[in-house]
Structure 1
C-alpha cells in the first residue's frame, strides 16, 4: 500500500510546493519538541529510493517532493563547473554498436548517471524497470523541464538510453549484460516503456558528459576495422556458423574442403616448378 502512496506523492499534479508543506507542518507541530523536522521524515518515507544513502543535511528540496527523488539519483560529488550542452545524437543502437565491437558492461556504481566509456567498453549502472518506473521517471523529467531546465541530468540519461534501445534485441543485450533488470511481464513491455519515457520531451541538446560518449561511440562504429574485427570474434563465429550441429558440421566440412584445395594447389605449383 505504501508503494502506491509514495507514487501518488511523486506525481507533480498531486503536490503542493514544499515550502507550503513545511509551513503547514510547522504550524501543526509548533509545540511538539519530540517531532522530527519535515525533511528527515520525508527522507525516511522515501528511503527505498535513496540508493546512495544520502544525508538529509546535504539535500535541499527546492520545489516539490519530486526534487527529492531526483536528488537521490544525482552524483554525491557534483562537478563545480556545469557541463555545457551540445546538439549531438547517438546514431546507433546497442546491438549495432555491439556488432561493431563495442562491449557493454554493467558497472558497480549505484548512481544512474555514472556512465564510463573507454577503448570500446561502455559501462553503465543497473536500471530496474518495474511498474513504478515510468511514473517516477516521467514526473522527474517533467520537473527538470520546468524547474531545472538548465540542468536536465536525468532527462539526458533517458534520451541516451532511448537512442541505445530500438528493438527487443537491444533490450535482450542490455539485460544480458546486467545493465537493465526487467521486472515487467516481458521484454516487449520493457521496450514499450523505454520508448515511451521520452515521448513529448523537448531538450536543447545534451550535457557534454553524454555528448562526449555519443561522439566516441559514433566514431567507433564508423571505423571499418572495428566492424571487421567484431565479425571475426569467437562469439560472432559461434552465432553465425556453429549455432546448431548441422551448421557446425557444414562449416567444418567447408573449411576442410578449402584446406584440401589449398594443399592440392600448392602441390601442383611445386610439381610444375620442379619440372
Structure 2
C-alpha cells in the first residue's frame, strides 16, 4: 500500500484521475495502472515532512490516509522501490534503466573484442600529437583503418592491376581466393582494434584479397624481378623506381598492416600449397632491407670475433618467424634476433622497485655525449651488425654504427608504437631509442658521434639529427629498470661519479688535446725544470762558495 500524508494532495490526485479517465476513455482502468500513476505523481512532488509518532498520536487529523493496492501486491512493492530510487544524484528509475543499458552494451563490447588476438592497433592519441604523417600512409593503404581515404585512393587501380596479373599468371578463378579468405574472415577481423567500420563481410574479404595480392606482387617483384612476373620495364608502380621507397615506408606502418596468415594463405594458393608458412616473412625482409637502420658489412675476422664473444656469426633471422603477426612484427624480430641481449640484474630490480609504475620523469638512463666526455668516458664505434648491441669497458662506450635516412623517423615511431600497444611485446627498440635520446642533446653530440663513425645520416644537418632523437620519445613512457641497457647505464654512471676520472679527463682535454698543446706542455715542463735547477744551484752556491 501507498501512504499519503496530505489529505489535500490526495483530493487533487483523485480529481486528476477522474479528468484523465474522462479524456482518455480507451485507457484500461486497472489497479496496477492506478498505483503506477500514483507513484509517478508522488515521485514528481517534493518529499513531505513526516510527523513524529508521538505527535501523530496526539493529533489524529495528522495521521496518514492509506491507499491500498489489493489486486497486485508485487507492483506496489516496485512502486515503493521506485520511490526509494529518487536520489539527489539521479532522475528516477529511468536513470537506473539507462545505466543497465550501458552495462549491457559494455558486456556485448567485451564479448565482441577478443583482446588476446589483437595485433594491428590504432596509434594512441598521446603518441600522435602532430606526427600524423609518420603514422598515416601517404601513397597506399592496406587494411581497414585507412581504406577508401582520398589521399590513397589513386593506388586502388594499381591494386586491381596486380590482382588481374596474379589471376592471369596462375590461371585461377577469383572465387578460389575469395572463398579461402572467407574462411579466415573472423580470425582476421579479430586482429584489428575495435569493430572494423563500414565494411560488410563481402567488402572485408574483397579488401583482404586485393591488398594481400598487391603486397605479394611487390614482395615477389623485388626478389624475383618484376619482369619475370609480366610487368613492363616502365611500369609506374611495379618497377624499381624512386616511388618504391615511399611505398616501403607506408607498408611498414602499424596501422597499415595485413595479418601474416592472410598473406601466407594467398601465396600458398598461388604456389599450390595453401598451408605453407614462413615464405612471406622471408620475402618481406628482402623487400624491407633498404629500411634497415644499419648496413655494416662484417668481414671474416669480425665474425670470428663475434663467435669468440658468444654470438653466432651466421644465423637465420627467420628460423622462428612462422608465428609472425604482420610485416612490422617480422621486421622488428629481424632487428632483434641477431643474438642475446643483456637483461637487468635482479639486484638492480630489487633496489629500484620493479613494480614501479612507468613514469615520464624516470627516463634518464645516461648523460649526453659531451658530459660523458668531460667525465673521462670515450665513445668508439663498435663494429657489429646489431645496432642495439652497446658495450662499456674500461671507460670506453662502444656503440654500433647507425644509418639515419628520411624514413628512419617513421620507422622508429611505428616500432615504438607497436611495443607500447602490444601486450606480449618487449621494449628493446624503445630502450635503445631512449638511450640514444639521452646521449644526444645538441648538434655537438651528433658531431662527436659522427666524427667517430657511429652516426651516418642523410639529413641536412647535425641539428636535424638531434631534433629527430629528441622528439622520438617525447610522449613515450616506460620504466628504465625494464631496459636491457639499465645495467650498462649503472656502470657508466658509477664511472662518472669518480672525480679522479673527471680530473684526469679535464687535464687531458686541456693540455693534451692536440700535438701543439702537447709540445707546449713539454716545453713548459722543461723550462720549469731548468728554472728550478738554476734556482737550486744559485742558492747552493751562495751558502757554499766554491773555495770553502
* Conservation of the 8 A alpha-carbon contact between 2:375 and 2:501: yes
Identify the residue that residue 266 of structure 1 maps to in structure 2.
536
* Cα shift readout 1:36-63 (whole Å, capped 9, x = no counterpart): 8433332332233566974434324543
- Give unpaired runs (5+ residues) of structure 2: 1-242, 296-313, 353-361
**How far off is 1:81 after superposition?**
7.7
Identify the residue that residue 332 of structure 2 maps to in structure 1.
70
Matched, 1:142 2:412: no
SS of the aligned residue for 2:397 comes to strand
Distance in 1, matches of 2:524 and 2:487, equals 45
* Cα shift readout 1:130-174 (whole Å, capped 9, x = no counterpart): 111100011011111111566100110111111111111111111
Change (3 A) 1:149 1:215: farther
Distance in 1, matches of 2:397 and 2:282, equals 37
* Cα shift readout 1:101-143 (whole Å, capped 9, x = no counterpart): 2121111111112111111111111111111110001101111
- Counting only pairs closer than 5 Å after superposition, residues 225-240 of structure 1 correspond to structure 2 as 225-233=500-508, 236-239=510-513
Distance in 1, matches of 2:451 and 2:424, equals 34
Distance in 2, matches of 1:80 and 1:253, equals 48
**How far off is 1:264 after superposition?**
4.2
**How far off is 1:232 after superposition?**
3.0
TM-score scaled by length of structure 1: 0.81
TM-score scaled by length of structure 2: 0.43
* Cα shift readout 1:68-109 (whole Å, capped 9, x = no counterpart): 221121042336989776668434211211222212111111
* Conservation of the 8 A alpha-carbon contact between 2:381 and 2:400: yes
Which protein shows a greater Rg?
Answer: 2
Matched, 1:187 2:462: yes
- Give unpaired runs (5+ residues) of structure 1: none
Matched, 1:30 2:244: no
SS of the aligned residue for 1:12 comes to coil
Matched, 1:173 2:448: yes
How many residues end up aligned between the 2 structures?
267
Matched, 1:16 2:268: no
Distance in 1, matches of 2:524 and 2:471, equals 47
Identify the residue that residue 157 of structure 1 maps to in structure 2.
432
SS of the aligned residue for 1:199 comes to coil
Distance in 2, matches of 1:179 and 1:148, equals 32
Matched, 1:122 2:392: no
Distance in 2, matches of 1:268 and 1:174, equals 53
Q: Relative contact order (C-alpha < 8 Å, sep 6+): which is higher?
A: 1
Distance in 1, matches of 2:366 and 2:319, equals 41
Identify the residue that residue 189 of structure 2 maps to in structure 1.
none
* Conservation of the 8 A alpha-carbon contact between 1:221 and 1:227: yes
- Counting only pairs closer than 5 Å after superposition, residues 53-68 of structure 1 correspond to structure 2 as 54-60=316-322, 62-68=324-330
Distance in 2, matches of 1:266 and 1:121, equals 44
- CA RMSD between the two structures: 3.3
Distance in 2, matches of 1:75 and 1:211, equals 20
Distance in 2, matches of 1:241 and 1:100, equals 22
- Counting only pairs closer than 5 Å after superposition, residues 36-115 of structure 1 correspond to structure 2 as 37-49=279-291, 54-60=316-322, 62-78=324-340, 89-115=364-390
